[in-house]
Amino acid sequence: MAQHFLLSAAARTLNVRQIYKAGEDAAYETFCKLRWAETDGEPVCPDCGCLDAYRITTRRKFKCKAFHHQFSVTSGTIFASRKLSFADLLAAICLFVNGSKGRSAVQLSRELGVQYKTAWVMAHKIRESMQDEYEGRKVSGEVEIDGAYFGGHIRPANLREDRIDRRRARHQTGTRRVVVAIRARKGRTLTFVTPTEADGVDLVARNVLPGSVIFADEARHWDHLSRGFAMGRINHEESYSNLAGMHTNGAESFFSRLRRMVAGQHHFVSPKYLHQYATHAAWLEDHRRESNGDLTMRVIRNAMAAPVSRVFKGYWQR
Ligand SMILES: [Zn+2]
């Protein structure tokens, strides 16, 4: 039997021991090189684009020669007001991407020896930087769609009869939401959080390019999509996806990961953050064949390109 990818040497190219052994300066250089890739890590003023800067080495700050703008490698990025050292930050991201079913803030705070709040904000910022890869993306080709209920602590079952009961129970609490997944077989997994699965119809119509083939289960609301797309429908009561190509296995694999993430790491998920966890699970699915070193660099590269977090900047100071 082929070895599972995560067990192979190719999957682990970075670990916490290497990060701390290399030290703070090496970690800092990693951030500089990823932020300023075009200049091989030489500073570029974020305000004026000036390439000449004085170095205030003691504080790891720069001052541009043109206008004396002060900046650092994280200025204007999601990690701008960071509390962690660069080595800690790098280790945090490495540990975070290592969690193939997610990683809770409690766990991260223990591993890094930092306050829960610090780990919590860090985790959400890392998820934001994953989210950036999905902004404005659409998918095409063979696309699998599905929806699943999340919220509360009753584990939803596959059987339709059970789902209907759960629906009623959940409606009373107001915390139940549906995650709609739109997964291209050769591409990305787009995720949305909506009140009902039927809301997914419009989301599919807007985010799947014309000419695509859509695979969905027998739920009636998806019927509307047959006006705009060629469709393959799967009847789960008759068989589990045995006709060649007639399945939504990719979408189900995503939901399986998200369920394990919610049940095993977060235990409870508020509707407010469900979308973040969904994106995190989608990102892990979409990059599941990449090494953990590549995943870590990917997160940093995204983060260094992204503006200051709107949501989580100074979250606990409010
Ligand atoms: Zn400047």
**Phi and psi of 8, rounded to 5°?**
-80, 155
Confidence of residue 148 (pLDDT cuts 50, 70, 90): very high
Distance CA 171, CA 177 (A): 9
Task: Look at residue 126 and give its three-state secondary structure.
Answer: helix
Q: What is the pLDDT of residues 49-59, one digit of tens each?
A: 999 999 998 78
| Locus of tokens 């789902």 | 163
Q: How far is the CA of 77 from the centre of ligand 1 (A)?
A: 16
Query: How remote is the CA of residue 131 from the centroid of ligand 1, in Å?
Result: 29
In sequence order, what E strands does the chain have? 53-56, 61-64, 70-71, 142-150, 177-184, 189-194, 213-217, 230-234
Query: For position 164, what pLDDT does the model report?
Result: 53
- Taking a 5 Å cut-off on Cβ, the residues next to ion ligand 1 are 45, 47-48, 50, 64, 67, 69
pTM: 0.86
Tens-digit pLDDT profile for residues 62-77: 999 999 999 999 998 8
Separation of alpha carbons 61 and 163, rounded Å:
56
Distance from residue 79's CA to the centre of ligand 1 (Å): 20
| Dist. CA 11–CA 221, nearest whole Å | 40
The DSSP H or E segment spanning 250 is helix 249-261
What pLDDT, on a 0 to 100 scale, did the predictor assign at position 159? Answer: 57
Q: What is d(CA 301, CA 67) in angstroms, rounded to the nearest whole number?
A: 27
CA of 68 to the centre of ligand 1 (A): 6
Residue-wise pLDDT tens digits, 230-248: 999 987 766 555 567 888 9
Note whether 179 and 150 are within 8 A (CB): yes
| Residue 318 confidence (pLDDT) above 50 | no
Task: Return phi, psi of residue 99, to 5°.
Answer: -75, 95
Could you tell me the distance, in angstroms and rounded to a whole number, from the CA of residue 196 to the centre of ligand 1? 49
